[in-house]
Amino acid sequence: MFVSRKISESTVRRLSHYLRSLEGFPDIGGTVSSEELAARGQTTAAQVRKDLSHFGSFGKRGLGYSVDQLRDRLRSILGVDRSWRVALVGAGRIGLALFEYPAFRSRGYDCVAIFDSDPEKIGQAWADQVVRSPDEFEKVINELDVELVILALPADGAQEMAMRAVDAGVQGILNFAPIRLNVPPEVPVEDVNLVMELEALSFQITQGEQDA
C-alpha cells in the first residue's frame, strides 16, 4: 500500500513505459485496464498491477484506472511533475544531439548550462545558451541551482567532472562516458553505454545461431 522503499530498477523502467503509453492516449476522462497497459508495454497485467500497487491503489475494480489520474500519479512518482535544471558537460557530437533533442525539454528536463574545455567552443552560442569554460563550473552550478548533470565528455575527464558536480551539490548524473564513475552512494548515476547495447545484440545473435 505505501512506498515500502526499494523499488526495483525494472519496476521503475516499467513505470516510465506506462507513463509513455498513457501520454499516447489524448483521451480525456477515459479509463485503461492493466491488461491494455500490459499489451502496450511488454509485460503482463499482473505485473502492471503489482508495480502500481507499490505506490497505493488507484484503480477501480471492474473498471480499470482513470487515464488522467494514473498519468498524474505516475508523473509524480517519477518526479516529472516538475522541471529539473540540467547542465551539459561536453559540447561534442553526442552533447549537441542531446541538447537539440526536444523530448528532454518537453518532459521537464531543462538544459540551463553547457560546459566544454575546448577554447574554440567556449563562447559559442547554442540556441539560448553560451558554451562556458569548466573554470566557471562550481559558480554556475550554484548560481543556477543545477540538479542534474549530463556527462558527454571523453572518459578521461569524466571522473573529475563527476566529482566536481557532486561536490557542487548536483543530485544525479547521466553518464555517457564509458567508465564506471566513483561517486558517493547517495548520488544516483545512470550509465548509457552503447557499445554494451550492441554487444547484447551480437551476443543474442551468436547464441541463437548455436541452437540452430
Partner DNA sequence: TTACTTTTGTGAAGAATTTCACAATACAGT
Partner DNA sequence: ACTGTATTGTGAAATTCTTCACAAAAGTAA
Binding site for its own copies (CB under 8 A): 3, 5, 7, 9, 12-13, 15-17, 19-20, 40-42, 77-80, 84, 93-94, 96-98, 100-101, 103-104, 107, 109, 147-148, 171-174, 178, 180, 186, 188, 190, 192-208, 210-211
Task: Give Cβ neighbours of residue 77 (< 8 Å, ≥ 6 apart).
Answer: 15, 55
47 binds DNA (CB under 7 A): yes
User: How far apart (Å, rounded) are the C-alpha atoms in residues 170 and 164?
Assistant: 9
User: How far apart (Å, rounded) are the C-alpha atoms in residues 130 and 112?
Assistant: 10
Locate cell 525494472: which residue?
10
**What is the nearest approach in angstroms of its own copies to the Cβ of residue 172?**
4
**What is the nearest approach in angstroms of DNA to the Cβ of residue 206?**
18
Please, are residues 83 and 144 in contact by the beta-carbon 8 Å criterion?
A: no
How close are the terminal C-alpha atoms of the chain, in Å? 47
Please, are residues 106 and 84 in contact by the beta-carbon 8 Å criterion?
A: no
Q: Applying CB under 7 A, which residues contact DNA?
A: 1, 6, 8-11, 33-35, 43-47, 49-50, 52-53, 57-65
Q: Applying CB under 6 A, which residues contact ligand NAD?
A: 89-95, 97-98, 101, 103, 115-118, 121, 134, 152-155, 157, 161, 176-178, 194
